[in-house]
């Protein structure tokens, strides 16, 4: 049985998971694939201490280049995260003829094009199943399972931290700050939660999914990104009264050669399958032009789910090696047909608006007038009777579909009314 030698760079939570689960199920995997996956070396800046998994200390090193330059190593797993030195390691490994497995969504989202070009040039694979959706085999599904499809849309809950916080806010009617604190206490959010709660992590993952689906690399800087830090428990409560929940969604749509890609808190109906995905779970809905609507869900992060994905990538590469079929499925297949990104101004969505107005007659009519002027029609109004602090009443509305441009312009005009006491809250809505 052929042995596939692996060099692991980054011996943190996920790296330990890979080693642990290869120990656990290695014999089973060998039987399934007719090859043996062998961790030949592990590099980390810190190789002291007990990680809860037994490894021969002789294979540990603080020098990653030892693995990258080892001619016996077939695959490098990059699990250190961040941009550098991760990128340099990956490019050097490819240059040295090694395949690469990575979970580094931030790196791929910003430098994917360059990395996949290097992989193509080296005729090697860069596999990244673990970069999106934890153990959910969504990359394989998009690239192989749906190879016969054009992707019409992707709607994803791809950040477990944000989903945990929103779930907690919904269930326990607590504030964002309180829910975040709890998430941090449970280890679901980092000390600095910016990447997760500001939507940046979701946007990284969306770039990867949208690029794969559309066959052209989507520029991270072109995305609209809004996080959940401004979502209040009150808006979640009103959403509930309207039969909706609030989720942080990564959205990609393609129609008539125009692509839109955005990340923002989104109202969705309680009947939407994504509304049932709670806590740290992730889910990704893909609509293909042939297959129709599909959904994939599972734990989106954590040692075990993520290492399940890393191992599936190792196996794919191992099978390519044993069958001399390098790069059998290209890591990223660029398509010749170039699509344009839709201008954010032109993106259409429904919207939830919460206007804080003085309780005077005629205010609602004035607001409705402004919306109408900007071609925004109102689907539902929820006027709350109770007074808020400061003598304002919240007017909650769901609009029909409108463009971003019109919504923004209308909101500016509304917020200039002297009856308006606070900036109007807008949360986009998807059906």
Annotated catalytic sites, by residue?
205
> Each residue of 323-343: b (16+ CB within 10 Å) or e?
eeeebeeebbeeeeeebebbe
Site string for a copy of itself, 72-111 (x = CB under 8 A): ----------------------------------------
- In the list 211, 312, 349, 424, the residue contacting a copy of itself (rule: CB under 8 A) is 312
Q: Which is nearer to a copy of itself, 33 or 68 (CB)?
A: 33
Residues 119-138 that bind a copy of itself (CB under 8 A): 129, 134-137
Q: Tell me the C-alpha distance between 162 and 45, whole Å.
A: 30
Chain position carrying tokens 């010749």: 336
Minimum Å gap between C-beta 46 and a copy of itself is: 25
Give the CA dihedral 31, 35, 40, 46, nearest 10 degrees: -50
Residues 256-295 that bind a copy of itself (CB under 8 A): 273, 276-277, 288-295
- Asked, as a colleague might, if the bond just before 168 is cis with ω within 30 of 0, I would say no
- In the list 311, 347, 395, 402, the residue contacting a copy of itself (rule: CB under 8 A) is 311
Q: Tell me the C-alpha distance between 208 and 105, whole Å.
A: 8
Minimum Å gap between C-beta 413 and a copy of itself is: 40
Site string for a copy of itself, 325-344 (x = CB under 8 A): x--xxx--x-xxx-------
Would you count residue 297 as binding a copy of itself (CB under 8 A)? Answer: yes
Would you count residue 24 as binding a copy of itself (CB under 8 A)? Answer: yes
Q: Tell me the C-alpha distance between 282 and 141, whole Å.
A: 15
**How far from 163 is each of 73, 201, 250, CA to CA, in Å?**
39, 12, 12
- In the list 102, 125, 170, 307, the residue contacting a copy of itself (rule: CB under 8 A) is 307
Minimum Å gap between C-beta 290 and a copy of itself is: 4
Q: Which is nearer to a copy of itself, 300 or 394 (CB)?
A: 300
| Dihedral sign (CA 226, 232, 233, 238) | negative
Q: Which is nearer to a copy of itself, 147 or 381 (CB)?
A: 147
Would you count residue 401 as binding a copy of itself (CB under 8 A)? Answer: no
Q: Which is nearer to a copy of itself, 151 or 349 (CB)?
A: 151
Helices (H) and strands (E) in the chain, counts: 13, 18
Q: What angle do CA 404, 410, 414 make, to 5 degrees?
A: 140
Minimum Å gap between C-beta 240 and a copy of itself is: 17
**How far from 94 is each of 3, 71, 86, CA to CA, in Å?**
20, 12, 12
Chain position carrying tokens 């016969």: 148
Q: Which residues bind a copy of itself (CB under 8 A)?
A: 21-22, 24-25, 28-29, 31-33, 129, 134-137, 140-141, 144-150, 215, 273, 276-277, 288-299, 304-305, 307-309, 311-312, 315-316, 319-320, 323-325, 328-330, 333, 335-337
């Amino acid at each position: 049985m052929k042995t596939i030698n692996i060099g692991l760079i980054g011996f943190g939570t996920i790296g330990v998971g890979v080693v642990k689960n290869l120990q656990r199920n290695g014999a089973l995997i060998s039987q399934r694939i007719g090859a043996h996956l062998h961790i030949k070396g592990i590099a980390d800046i810190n190789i002291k201490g007990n990680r809860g998994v037994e490894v021969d200390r002789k294979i540990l090193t603080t020098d990653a280049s030892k693995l990258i330059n080892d001619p016996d190593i077939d695959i490098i797993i990059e699990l250190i995260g961040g941009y550098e030195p991760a990128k340099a390691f990956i490019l050097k490994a490819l240059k040295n003829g090694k395949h690469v497995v990575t979970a580094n969504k931030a790196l791929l989202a910003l430098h994917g094009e360059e990395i996949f070009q290097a992989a193509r040039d080296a005729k090697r694979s860069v596999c990244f199943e673990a970069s999106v959706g934890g153990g959910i085999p969504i990359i394989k599904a998009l690239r192989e399972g749906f190879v016969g499809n054009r992707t019409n849309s992707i709607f994803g809950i791809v950040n477990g931290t944000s989903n945990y916080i929103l779930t907690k806010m919904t269930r326990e009617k607590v504030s964002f700050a309180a829910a975040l604190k709890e998430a941090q206490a449970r280890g679901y959010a980092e000390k600095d939660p910016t990447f997760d709660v500001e939507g940046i992590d979701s946007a990284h993952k969306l770039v990867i999914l949208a690029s794969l689906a559309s066959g052209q690399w989507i520029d991270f800087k072109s995305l609209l990104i809004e996080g959940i830090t401004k979502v209040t428990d009150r808006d979640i409560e009103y959403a509930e009264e309207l039969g909706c929940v609030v989720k942080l969604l990564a959205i990609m749509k393609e129609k008539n050669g125009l692509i839109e890609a955005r990340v923002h808190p989104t109202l969705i109906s309680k009947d939407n399958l994504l509304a049932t995905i709670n806590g740290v779970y992730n889910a990704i809905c893909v609509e293909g032009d042939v297959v129709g609507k599909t959904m994939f869900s599972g734990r989106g992060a954590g040692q075990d789910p993520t290492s399940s994905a890393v191992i599936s990538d190792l196996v794919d590469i191992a099978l390519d090696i044993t069958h001399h079929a390098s790069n059998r499925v290209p890591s990223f297949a660029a398509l010749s047909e170039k699509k344009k990104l839709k201008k954010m101004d032109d993106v259409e969505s429904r919207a939830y608006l919460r206007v804080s107005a003085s309780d005077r007659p005629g205010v609602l009519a004035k607001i409705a007038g402004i919306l109408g002027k900007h071609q925004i029609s109102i689907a539902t109004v929820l006027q709350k009777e109770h007074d808020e602090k400061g003598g304002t009443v919240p007017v909650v509305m769901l609009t029909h579909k409108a463009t971003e441009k019109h919504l923004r312009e209308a909101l500016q005009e509304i917020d200039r009314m002297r009856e308006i006491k606070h900036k109007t809250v807008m949360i986009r809505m998807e059906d």
